[in-house]
Each structure stands twice: as C-alpha cells, then as structure tokens.
Structure 1
Amino acid sequence: MPASPSPSLETRPAGAFSADAAGMMLTLTVAGQLCGVQVLSVRDVLGVQVITRIPLAPREVAGSLNLRGRIVTAVDLRSRLGLSPREAGKGAMSVVVEVGGELYSLLADQVGEVLSLDAGERSPNPPTLDVSWREFSLGVHRQGDRLLVLLDVERLLELGA
C-alpha cells in the first residue's frame, strides 16, 4: 500500500512555494550516503510501490509505476550511480520529481527530512568524492559529521545520454 505524502511535501504546482524553498533540500540515503534534492522539484514521496519492468529500457530504469493515473518512469539511484544493488526484499522509497514537465520516480533506500541549507555554505565536490557521485553532484554540505551530496536531478535523468 502506498505511503501518504508527507504533509510538507503535498503535491503543489511549482509556483506555489515561496522563494525561501529554493534553499530547501529533501534528504535521502543511497547506499549509506546522505544526499539531497531540491524541494522545488519534488512532487511526492511514496513508500514501496509496485513497479512494472519496461522491456529494453536502460539498466538504471527500474520500470514504471502508476501515480494517480499517470505513468511515471522509476529510476534506481543505486544503478544510476553504478552502486551495488539493493538487498533482496528491501523495498525502495520513491521520490517523485518533475523535470521538463515529466514526472520521474527516484528510488532511494530511505527518505529523510527537509533541511534549509544556506547556499553560501555549499562547497565544491571534494577531490576524494567518488567519480560516480561527482558526475551527478552539484556540490556538498557538511551536516554534523556527515557529508550531504547535493544531487543534480536533471543530470541524473539524462538517461541514455
């Protein structure tokens, strides 16, 4: 059964958010790494979903899911980043984003909280950041003792490019 979207992440038109939302990030975890995506691109957060495989799709495309009558392409972030597959039986959380007028589901291990980040505190990618992450990162933020990788959602969704 799909999880209800978080009250702070209700489906809204892109213009319905204030300018303050530009610095807000939804945190998620992929293979133990803390990541963030801009809240302005997030349309929904879902629990484990039934995903239908798409024949001949690129390996990072897990399939498609039905979101209130709309077909949404599901992209497995582990696969897209060249990481090991999720353990059998471990379902993925789904972060639905809108890019170019299309909806996509980013499959992550966990979805966390919404953080307000100061753009002035963003750092460039450190040279030690793995190349598979660096390709899809807009930069990093230090969150306590952890590094938050800011994901470039548009770049992640350049499938087959």
Structure 2
Amino acid sequence: MKQLHLFATLAGTRVAIAAEEVEAVVRLIDISPVPGLGGHVAGLSALRSRVLTVIDVAALIYGAPTPADKRGLAIIAAIGGHSYALMVDEVSDICRAPGGALPLRGQLDPVWKPYARALVEHAELPWLLVSPSAFLESGIVGQAA
C-alpha cells in the first residue's frame, strides 16, 4: 500500500508532502508580525490555543513575500517540538501516488534543490516531494521558535 500525500501549490510550485508530516490544513485569520526576524517569517498566529510560527515559503525560496491578501491558507506541521504554519497557495488533493517516489529528473529550478527529495506523479503531472522540516533544517527559521 502506497503512502498518502497532500498535493498542494506552494510558492507557485506543485508539491507533495507525506500526509503523516501534516497535522492540518487551515485558514489563518490573523498573522501578527514579529520585528527583527527574517522576511520568510510572516509572523505568529494562534490556532486552538497554540502559537504558530508562520513561514512564508515564497519569501524563503524567492525572496519576495506573499501579498497580504493571499496569506490565508497554511499547512500545519509540528517540527522539533514547535508548531509551524507553512503558507500555501492552494491544496489540491490528498491521496496515494500509485507510482510512489521517483528520482528527480529533468531540469529542477535551483532554488528548489535544497528542499526537493523526489518526484511523485498525480493527475498525470509531476509533483516535487518535499518535507516541511526541509524548510527549517538549515537553521534559517530556528530563531523564530
């Protein structure tokens, strides 16, 4: 039996995330900015009495923050004992990828190389397999926790 994946568009790119790495998909109501943190940290938000560090993946990957009117949807992940909300453009589906993980092939935008682990196919399209923790591993966001 193949693993479930969440299929989403993140910073304008089709991505797949193992469902076990996703706690929830939510609409963020308020994001409170935190001065002094990198531009990829959109701020803090509350969800069910928890504080979430909101990561703007578009700002992390491309250096351009997501416009305020497009900051509503996020994937929630618990990483290293902290709760993070990774802003996504949209969520398409949650299902199994029949072919499983495939090696990266073709030309990959260099900005995605640190984050992409493999490819999975869904709806006859390739999706980059990423892990929420990959966006935090390099210590870029460690200061926000």
Instruction: Give yes or no for TM over 0.5.
Output: yes
Shift of 1:84: 4.1
Shift of 1:92: 3.2
Stretches (4+) displaced over 4 A: none
Match 2:34 to one of 39, 46, 54: 54
Secondary structure of the 1:135 match is coil
Moved more, 132-141 or 24-33: 24-33
1:125 has 2:104 as partner = yes
Shift of 1:121: 3.6
Q: How many residues align?
A: 140
- What TM-score does the superposition give when structure 1 sets the normalisation length? 0.76
Shift of 1:125: 2.0
Moved more, 77-86 or 128-137: 77-86
Question: CA deviation digits over 1:14-56, x for unaligned, max 9?
Answer: xxxxxx6x71111111243211111112112111421011111
* Structure 2 equivalent of residue 76 of structure 1: 56
* Structure 2 equivalent of residue 16 of structure 1: none
Query: Percent of aligned positions with the same letter in both sequences?
Result: 24
Does the aligned pair in 1 maintain the 2:42–2:56 contact within 8 Å?
Answer: yes
The Cα RMSD (Å) is: 2.1
Structure number with the bigger relative contact order (C-alpha 8 A, sep ≥ 6) is: 2
- What TM-score does the superposition give when structure 2 sets the normalisation length? 0.83
Shift of 1:144: 3.7
Counterpart code for 2:92: G
Counterpart code for 1:149: L
1-structure distance, mates of 2:96, 2:79:
21
Does the aligned pair in 2 maintain the 1:27–1:114 contact within 8 Å?
Answer: yes
1-structure distance, mates of 2:61, 2:32:
21
